[in-house]
Amino acid sequence: MSERPRYLIVDGHSVIFAWPELRRLHARRSSLAREALLKQLRNYQDWTGVRVVIVFDGKGKKIDASSEPGGVQIFYSRTGQSADAIIERLASKYAKRFELMVATSDMMEAQTVQACGAEWISPEGLRALLGSNRKPL
């Protein structure tokens, strides 16, 4: 029997505001914090083979999604919709087919994704996970 594909879904702003170094970057310019987090998540995906999806609160009229081939998938919610809503929809749709882990500091969101069958990890747990998967050069 083959192992189900693994995905890590990250609540981007939740993690940015939970990590002091990213919070400081965000205070200077939000794009700096997003890029710093994205770089760490891209490295994690490259090292582990776990597919990474990061979701941010957005400001557009529609959900904006992007990714480079084999890269981290990035979603921005539309105006009036939270990143939480997208994450919860992804968890409810895919938790049965894939092994999902969701990183967020939002406890209501954590309970919802766990009820869908996904694992939950805190921003500090995510930091430990990213640090523990570094392979020596």
Domain assignment of residue 105, yes or no: yes
Domain assignment of residue 1, yes or no: no
Q: Write out the residue range of the structural domain in which residue 18 sits.
A: 6-129
Domain assignment of residue 135, yes or no: no
Domain assignment of residue 71, yes or no: yes
User: What pLDDT does residue 69 have?
Assistant: 66
Global pTM reads 0.90
Residue 68 class from Cβ within 10 Å (0-12 exposed, 13-18 middle, 19+ buried)? exposed
Domain assignment of residue 74, yes or no: yes
β pairing state of 99-103 and 6-11 = parallel
CATH number for the domain spanning 18: value is 3.40.50.1010
For the stretch 22-81, pLDDT in tens is 999 999 999 999 999 999 999 999 999 999 999 998 877 776 777 766 789 999 888 888
- 49 Cβ contact list (under 8 Å, min separation 6): 6
For the stretch 52-61, pLDDT in tens is 999 998 877 7
The number of domains in the chain is 1
- According to DSSP, residue 52 is labeled E
